[in-house]
C-alpha cells in the first residue's frame, strides 16, 4: 500500500521534485550559512521591513502597518506603502524560530524555491507535459537577472513577485483558450503581485495589456471582458486591506513617495538616470561573476531560445500554442530592447519611469522565455527516442548549473560582516525617507524635496520628548509603549502636543474616552489638539482609519467568497465521483452543453444510460468516450495521420473525433461498433475528475427529441475520420482549420 502511494506521488509530482532539487543546489550560497545575513544592496531595507508585522502586532495594531521600533522609535510605515505579504510570512516564521537572521535567509530561499514551483505548475497546466514543466522551472531559476535579485541585491520585493509572475502568464493562456478558471488565476496572481512589489505589478500589467493587444481578437469577445473584469475585481478585493490605506496615504500628497520631485531625484525616476542605466549589447554577453555582470548577461539558454524559436515556429502544430508562444516571443524581444541604448527615456511616458532602471525589463524577458524554451526543445526532440529526450533534459540541467553555480557557490562567502551591535535602522543610518512626510526630509521653509539623508539627522536633533507646541497644558504620569501613549493632562487654553511619532493617518487619540482630532506638524510629526479647560487621561495609539477598516472587510469578504465557491466545486466533484462509483449516471457541466457521464468500466451504468437515451446497439448513435488524457486516445482508437494535428491543436476542447476503433480495445459496448467517438472537454471539472474517475462515457444531458441545457455555446464540432476524406458531421462554435 505504501509503495503504491509512493509510486502515485512520484508519478504525479516528479517535475516539482526535480525543480525543487535544482533550486536547493542553486541556493546553496544561502542555506549553507543560515546564521549570517546574506549581503545585498537592499539588505538593511528588508531586514527592518520584514520585522514590521511582528512588531506592529505586538504594538496592538490589528492590521500591521507601522513598525514601532523603526526610525529611531518614531515609527515607520513600511506596510502602508510597500507590499506587506513577505512581512506576514516572516512574522509567521519568527513565531516558530525566534531568530531574525535565519528568518531573513529562509524568506529569500522560500521565494526562490516557490518561484520555480509556480513556473513548473503554470507550464504543466499549459503544455500538459511534465517534462516541459520541469524544463520551464529550471530555466526560470537559472535566469541571471533573477539570480542577481537573490544573490546580489537581496531584492525581496521582486523575489516574491517572481512567485506570482508565471501565474499571470497562465491566466493569459487561459483567457486565450477560454478556460473558465482564467479570472480566478489572474486575480490570485495579481493580488499576490500587489501585496509583493508595486513596480513588478505595474510591469506585468503592462505586459498583459500588450499581450491582449497582440491578440486583439480576444477583445472582441464579451466573455474576455467579463473575465478581465472579474479578475480585476478579485485582485483588488483580495489586496484591498493594503490597497485602500496605501491609496489614502499616498493621495494625501503629504509623503515624499507621492512627490514627483522627490521620486524623480531620489528614486531615479527621471530620463537622465534611466538613460545612464541603459545597457549596451556587450552587457548581454558578460558572464563574469561580479553582480553587475550576471545581472545583465542573458546566458546560453536564452540565446539559444532567441535564435531557435523563429527557426522552429512553423513546426508547432497546435495553432493556439503557436500564437501564444509567438506573442510571448515578440514581447520578450520588446522587453530586451527596452533595456538597451536604443531607447531614449525622454520619449517614454512618465508612469513607466517609475521602474527606476531599465534592467527591470529583463524580468519580463526571462519570464516569457521560460515558457518558450521548453517547447522549442520539445519540438526538436519529440520524434527522437526516449533516451534522446532524457539526454536533452539532463543537458539542459547541466548547462543551467554550469551557468549559475560559479555565481551562487561564490555567494557562500557573501554574508554580511556588519557589526550587528550597531543599528540596522535605515533612518538612523541616514539612508531612507521615502515613506515619511516630505516636510521631514526638508528644512523648514523649503517647498521641494531636499534629500533623504536629512530624516535621521532631523529626528535625532528633535529628540524623543513629548513637546507642547502651543497652549499651557500640564502633563503628568506620561507612559509610553511603542506607539502607545497614556498621560494625565490639564489645560486652561487650547493646547497642541507634538508627539515623537512620524505622522500617518491611522493615529487615534481620546481624552476621557472622547475622540480628539489628530493632525500633522510642520515637521511631519503627530499633533494632538486638546480643548481648553480640559482635564483627564489622554490616550494615543495607532489604529485603523475607515479606509483600513473597509479594506480589511473587503479582503475578508473576497476570501470568503472564493472559499465558498471552491468548497462548492469540491463538493460537486465529490458528489459526481460518488455517483459514478455507485454505477449511476452523473450530470456534469462541459464548456458547451450539460452532459451525462458514466464510468467506462461500469456496465450497469452504461445500460442505464442506453435505456434513458433510448439507444441500443443498432441505433447508429455511439456514446462518446472520454480518455484521461490525449496521450491515451491510442488505447481506444486508431489515429489517422490527418487527425494527429487536430488532437494536438484542439484537444482538450470543443471537438469530437470519430475514429476507427482500436481492435485491441475490448469492451462490451464498443465491441458492437467499428468506430468510436473521442472527446476531452476543456472544463476545470474534467481536469480534476478524470485523474480520480478514470475514462468516462459522455453524452448530452437530454432525452431523445429534447434540447440539452447549453452554457452559451453550441454542442462540440464533430469530424468523422473513418471515411476516405474527413468530413464535418456537426459544426459547433469551434471552427476547425
- Check residue 505 and give its pLDDT: 95
| Residue 633 CB-density burial (10 A; 0-12 exposed, 13-18 middle, 19+ buried) | buried
Strands 474-481 and 655-660 come out as unpaired
3-state secondary structure 311-376: HHHHHCCCHHHHHHHHHHHHHHHHHHHHCECCCCHHHCCHHHHHHCCHHHHHHHHHHHHHHHHHHH
Contact assessment for residue 183 and residue 228, using Cβ atoms and an 8 Å cutoff: yes
Contact assessment for residue 67 and residue 504, using Cβ atoms and an 8 Å cutoff: no
- Check residue 406 and give its pLDDT: 63
- Phi, psi (deg, nearest 5) at residue 194: -60, -35
Residue 33, CA distances (Å) to 37, 38, 39, 463, 696 in order: 8, 8, 12, 39, 53
Gap between the Cα atoms of 242 and 189, Å rounded: 15
- Check residue 290 and give its pLDDT: 47
Contact assessment for residue 29 and residue 414, using Cβ atoms and an 8 Å cutoff: yes
Q: Assign residue 440 a region (left: φ > 0; alpha: ψ between -120 and 50; beta: otherwise).
A: alpha
- Check residue 34 and give its pLDDT: 81
- Check residue 703 and give its pLDDT: 82
- Phi, psi (deg, nearest 5) at residue 665: -85, 110
Gap between the Cα atoms of 191 and 201, Å rounded: 9
- Phi, psi (deg, nearest 5) at residue 668: -60, -30
Q: Using DSSP, state whether 432 is helix, strand or coil.
A: coil
- Check residue 154 and give its pLDDT: 83
- Check residue 707 and give its pLDDT: 78
Q: What is the separation, in whole angstroms, between the first and last Cα of the chain?
A: 48
| Angle at CA of residue 487, ends 444 and 489, nearest 5° | 80
Flag residues of the chain having pLDDT under 50.
289-293
- Check residue 430 and give its pLDDT: 52
Gap between the Cα atoms of 617 and 620, Å rounded: 7
Q: Using DSSP, state whether 514 is helix, strand or coil.
A: strand
Contact assessment for residue 173 and residue 322, using Cβ atoms and an 8 Å cutoff: no
Gap between the Cα atoms of 228 and 184, Å rounded: 10
Amino acid at each position: 500500500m505504501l509503495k503504491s502511494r509512493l509510486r502515485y506521488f512520484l508519478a504525479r509530482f516528479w517535475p516539482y521534485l526535480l525543480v525543487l532539487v535544482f533550486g536547493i543546489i542553486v541556493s546553496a550560497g544561502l542555506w549553507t550559512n543560515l546564521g549570517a545575513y546574506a549581503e545585498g544592496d537592499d539588505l538593511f531595507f528588508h531586514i527592518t521591513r520584514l520585522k514590521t508585522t511582528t512588531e506592529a502586532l505586538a504594538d496592538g495594531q490589528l492590521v500591521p502597518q507601522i513598525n514601532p521600533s523603526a526610525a529611531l522609535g518614531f515609527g515607520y510605515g513600511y506596510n502602508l506603502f510597500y507590499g506587506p505579504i513577505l512581512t506576514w510570512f516572516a512574522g509567521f516564521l519568527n513565531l516558530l524560530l525566534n531568530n531574525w537572521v535565519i528568518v531573513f535567509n529562509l524568506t529569500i530561499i522560500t521565494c526562490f524555491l516557490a518561484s520555480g514551483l509556480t513556473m513548473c505548475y503554470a507550464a504543466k497546466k499549459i503544455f500538459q507535459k511534465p517534462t516541459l514543466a520541469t524544463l520551464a522551472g529550471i530555466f526560470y531559476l537559472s535566469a541571471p537577472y533573477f539570480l542577481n535579485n537573490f544573490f546580489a541585491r537581496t531584492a525581496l520585493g521582486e523575489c516574491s513577485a517572481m512567485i506570482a509572475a508565471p501565474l499571470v502568464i497562465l491566466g493569459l493562456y487561459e483567457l486565450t483558450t477560454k478556460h473558465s478558471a482564467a479570472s480566478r488565476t489572474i486575480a490570485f496572481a495579481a493580488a499576490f503581485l500587489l501585496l509583493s512589489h508595486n513596480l513588478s505589478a505595474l510591469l506585468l500589467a503592462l505586459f498583459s495589456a500588450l499581450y491582449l493587444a497582440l491578440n486583439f481578437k480576444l477583445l472582441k469577445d464579451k466573455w474576455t471582458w467579463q473575465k478581465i473584469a472579474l479578475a480585476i475585481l478579485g485582485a483588488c478585493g483580495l489586496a484591498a486591506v493594503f490597497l485602500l490605506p496605501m491609496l489614502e496615504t499616498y493621495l494625501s500628497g503629504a509623503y515624499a513617495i507621492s512627490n514627483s520631485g522627490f521620486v524623480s531625484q531620489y528614486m531615479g525616476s527621471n530620463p537622465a538616470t534611466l538613460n545612464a542605466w541603459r545597457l549596451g549589447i556587450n552587457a548581454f554577453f558578460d558572464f563574469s561573476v561580479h553582480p553587475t555582470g550576471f545581472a545583465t548577461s542573458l546566458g546560453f539558454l536564452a540565446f539559444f531560445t532567441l535564435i531557435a524559436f523563429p527557426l522552429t515556429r512553423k513546426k508547432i502544430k497546435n495553432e493556439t500554442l503557436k500564437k501564444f508562444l509567438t506573442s510571448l516571443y515578440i514581447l520578450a524581444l520588446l522587453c530586451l530592447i527596452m533595456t538597451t541604448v536604443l531607447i531614449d527615456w525622454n520619449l517614454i511616458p512618465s508612469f513607466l519611469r517609475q521602474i527606476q532602471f531599465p534592467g527591470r525589463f529583463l524580468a519580463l524577458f526571462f519570464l516569457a522565455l521560460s515558457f518558450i524554451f521548453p517547447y522549442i526543445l520539445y519540438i526538436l526532440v519529440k520524434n527522437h527516442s526516449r533516451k534522446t529526450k532524457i539526454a536533452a533534459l539532463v543537458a539542459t540541467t547541466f548547462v543551467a548549473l554550469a551557468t549559475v553555480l560559479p555565481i551562487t557557490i561564490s555567494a557562500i562567502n557573501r554574508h554580511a560582516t556588519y557589526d550587528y551591535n550597531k543599528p540596522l535602522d535605515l533612518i538612523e543610518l541616514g539612508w531612507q525617507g521615502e515613506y515619511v512626510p516630505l516636510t521631514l526630509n526638508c528644512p523648514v521653509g523649503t517647498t521641494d524635496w531636499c534629500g533623504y539623508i536629512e530624516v535621521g539627522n532631523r529626528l535625532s536633533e528633535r529628540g524623543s520628548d513629548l513637546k507642547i507646541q502651543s497652549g499651557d497644558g500640564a502633563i503628568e504620569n506620561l507612559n509610553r509603549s511603542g506607539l502607545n501613549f497614556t498621560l494625565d493632562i490639564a489645560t486652561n487654553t487650547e493646547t497642541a502636543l507634538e508627539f515623537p511619532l512620524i505622522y500617518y493617518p491611522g493615529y487615534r487619540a481620546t481624552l476621557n474616552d472622547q475622540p480628539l482630532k489628530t493632525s500633522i506638524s510642520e515637521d511631519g510629526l503627530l499633533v494632538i489638539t486638546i480643548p481648553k479647560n480640559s482635564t483627564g487621561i489622554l490616550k494615543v495609539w495607532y489604529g485603523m482609519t475607515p479606509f483600513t477598516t473597509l479594506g480589511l472587510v473587503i479582503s475578508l469578504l473576497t476570501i470568503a467568497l472564493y472559499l465558498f465557491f471552491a468548497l462548492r466545486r469540491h463538493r460537486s466533484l465529490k458528489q459526481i465521483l460518488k455517483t459514478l462509483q455507485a454505477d449511476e449516471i452523473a450530470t456534469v457541466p462541459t464548456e458547451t452543453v450539460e452532459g451525462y457521464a458514466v464510468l467506462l468500466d461500469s456496465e450497469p451504468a452504461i445500460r442505464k444510460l442506453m435505456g434513458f437515451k433510448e439507444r441500443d446497439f443498432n441505433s447508429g448513435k455511439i456514446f462518446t468516450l472520454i480518455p484521461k488524457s490525449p496521450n491515451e486516445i491510442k488505447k481506444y482508437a486508431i489515429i489517422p495521420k490527418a487527425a494527429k494535428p487536430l488532437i494536438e491543436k484542439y484537444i482538450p476542447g470543443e471537438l469530437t473525433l470519430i475514429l476507427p476503433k482500436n481492435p485491441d480495445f475490448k469492451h462490451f459496448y464498443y465491441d458492437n461498433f467499428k468506430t468510436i467517438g473521442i472527446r476531452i472537454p476543456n472544463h476545470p471539472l474534467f481536469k480534476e475528475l478524470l485523474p480520480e474517475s478514470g475514462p468516462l462515457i459522455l453524452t448530452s444531458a437530454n432525452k431523445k427529441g429534447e434540447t440539452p441545457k447549453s452554457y452559451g455555446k453550441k454542442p462540440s464540432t464533430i469530424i468523422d475520420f473513418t471515411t476516405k476524406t474527413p468530413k464535418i458531421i456537426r459544426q459547433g462554435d469551434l471552427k476547425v482549420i
